[in-house]
Amino acid sequence: MAYDANNIFAQILEGKMPAHKVFENDHTLAFLDIMPVSVGHTLIVPKVEAENIFELENEPGSEVFKTTKKVAHGIQASLNPTGLIITQLNGTDAGQTVFHYHMHIIPVYKKMPLRMHGKEIEDSEALAKTAKIIRQAVVDIVAG
């Protein structure tokens, strides 16, 4: 399947669709999942056209990894999850629903069960509040 330049994450990258951003640099963008599995569920996308791991070149791939680490530290420091799932789906059969490569960071909290993947749209104010908390934590981490 050819890359669809109108996919929702491409539109977010172009500023045509809103997102609750937590970190951005020249190579990547991190923003909250609109249907989070848990509080702080974050997606990291490269700023290149790649549908999945097979299309993603090593260099943008390593930029995604670097941003994932930064944001993971920010989530850990600010939301205090008891665990952190980092995952990435390739292909419909694997559960991929948006065909622009993305990494998921899913915080896990003891006694707070995970919700179903991609089922329930979160309240925008709640997302904005969480994004602000993570964004500040990542700024602090980057500043050292």
Shortest CB 123 distance to ligand AMP, Å: 14
Write each residue from 44 to 83 as x if it is in contact with ligand AMP (CB under 6 A), else as -, in one continuous string.
Answer: ----------------------------------------
Residue of 89, 103, 131, 141 interacting with ligand AMP (CB under 6 A): 89
Q: Which stretch binds ligand AMP (CB under 6 A): 29-37, 53-61, 69-77, 135-143?
A: 29-37
Shortest CB 98 distance to ligand AMP, Å: 4
Q: Which residues of 35-62 are buried (b: 16+ CB within 10 A; e: fewer)?
A: ebbbbbbbbbbbebbbbbeeebeeebbe
Q: How many amino acids of this chain bind ligand AMP (CB under 6 A)?
A: 14
Burial (CB count within 10 angstroms: exposed 0-12, middle 13-18, buried 19+), residue 121: exposed
* Catalytically annotated residue among 41, 100, 102, 104: 102
Q: Do residues 99 and 2 lie in contact, with contact meaning Cβ atoms separated by under 8 Å?
A: no
17-23-26-28 Cα dihedral, nearest 10 degrees: -70
Q: Do residues 31 and 47 lie in contact, with contact meaning Cβ atoms separated by under 8 Å?
A: no
Residue of 49, 65, 73, 96 interacting with ligand AMP (CB under 6 A): 96
What kind and span of H or E run contains 28? strand 28-32
> Is 104 a residue of the active site?
no
Residue of 7, 35, 66, 73 interacting with ligand AMP (CB under 6 A): 35
- State the DSSP code for 112: B
Helix (H, G, I), strand (E, B) or coil at 19: coil
Catalytically active residues, by annotation: 102
- Applying CB under 6 A, the residues found at the interface with ligand AMP are 8, 17, 19, 33-35, 43, 89, 95-98, 117-118
